[in-house]
Amino acid sequence: MMSIDEQDAFWTEQSDLFGHAAPSGPQASYLRFANLFQAYSARVMQGMLRWRHSREGLVEAFLAALAHATTAAEFLSANPIPNLKNPWEVFDFPHAGIASFLVLGETDQSVLRLVPSESSWSAMSKHQTYFGFETGILLLLNGSSVGPGWNALIAKCSADPRLKLTVDTYSTYRLLLERPSDASLLSTAEANFKRRARNGYYSGGAEIHGGGPDNAHTIDLLLEAIKCRIGVSKPLLSNRRQ
């Protein structure tokens, strides 16, 4: 098992490796776009590791992650990828938008334009629903509302017992945004995140969601962004400027 120092160095190496890779061949544009998400994820993991273990440089890690997200959005605009229907399935732009809110207190419009529209949520597969849920939270963070698409996501996931924690997690997030003074909801959200350590669905998912053993070295990034929105804490950059 790697030490915390070794993990930190590993995420730097991964970000540099994927961020600077220059694929060639007929799939070069797609691979470059996918690599940028790996670079983003590595820096997010590094930022969460530093946060969880009270290490210096967490803001720098998150800013580096956001730079990869901006690069990906700009790359996609300049290099349309044939047959790529849902860019957010390759690069999780909803997550990047929430990370941006946590760091800056707002989300770049170039990222917001690349999240799935609410009209698409009802047609999502069960394995795509978290993109819809993330987008719903992102919209609420930025002062917008969500409509019946949210209920469609809840209904789809509620039909599968394996996704109970997903339903509990996002239902609590939304309630917390609607009832920020309810301290019990904050405690429930924190407990839900800890449950990911032993949850099969989250354990098999992306590392940035804190499932399985990654739970001990990550934070609930969405919850931290929500705490900024409801006034429990402030965006990371505003804290550093004080």
Q: What is the pLDDT of residues 69-91, one digit of tens each?
A: 999 999 999 999 999 999 999 99
Q: Residue 242: its pLDDT value, please?
A: 42
pTM of the predicted model over 0.75 = yes
**What are the CA-CA distances from residue 18 to residues 34, 69, 152, 199 (Å)?**
9, 13, 36, 29
- The domain locations on the chain are 4-241
Contact between residue 173 and residue 223 where contact means Cβ atoms under 8 Å apart: yes
| CA–CA separation, 75 and 84 (whole Å) | 14
Q: Residue 1: its pLDDT value, please?
A: 83
Q: List per-residue pLDDT tens for the chain, 242 residues long.
A: 899 999 999 999 999 999 999 999 989 999 999 999 999 999 999 999 999 999 999 999 999 999 999 999 999 999 999 999 999 999 999 999 999 999 999 998 889 999 999 999 999 999 999 999 999 999 999 999 999 999 999 999 999 999 999 999 999 999 999 999 999 999 999 999 999 999 999 999 999 999 999 999 999 999 999 999 999 999 999 866 44
List the structure tokens of 103.
């760091």
